[in-house]
Amino acid sequence: MRKTSRALVSSIAIILSGASFAAADLTKMNPDSMEHFPMADQNSDEKLSLEEFKIFVNLEAEDDIGKSRKLKRYKKYETGYTKMDANKDGALTLEEIAAFRVGN
């Protein structure tokens, strides 16, 4: 019984994450952003924590990508992070950033 419900929960999670990532088109991402992401991802878990996101935004700001300069200037890291974290799991994936930028 326990096993079944756990399997059910994980398949729901897969369905949900698949749905929210379906709109993300990584080909539309700035190639520099694609490089900045792994540079900022200090623990290489392919997700950005808020601290890692700050590094990411600072790298982006150097190349004036997206709204990174504004985020940096006004120190709106946390606001941007919360907005981009579509599934609210407290971790930012490249897909979530892509979906946010494409306008999703």
Q: Rule CB under 5 A: which residues touch Ca ion?
A: 41, 43, 45, 47, 52, 85, 87, 89, 91
To Ca ion, the closest distance from the beta carbon of 18 in angstroms equals: 14
Beta bridge partners of 92: 48
To Ca ion, the closest distance from the beta carbon of 55 in angstroms equals: 10
In whole angstroms, give the CA distance from residue 98 to residue 24: 6
Residue 48, token pair as written in the block: 């950005």
To Ca ion, the closest distance from the beta carbon of 16 in angstroms equals: 11
Cβ distance to Ca ion smaller for residue 35 or 45: 45
Cβ distance to Ca ion smaller for residue 50 or 61: 50
Cα angle, residue 41 at apex, residues 39 and 43 outer, rounded to 5°: 125
Cβ distance to Ca ion smaller for residue 23 or 64: 23
Name the H helices within the chain: 2-21, 31-40, 50-62, 68-73, 77-84, 94-102
Cβ distance to Ca ion smaller for residue 12 or 64: 12
To Ca ion, the closest distance from the beta carbon of 37 in angstroms equals: 10
First CA to last CA distance, the chain: 38
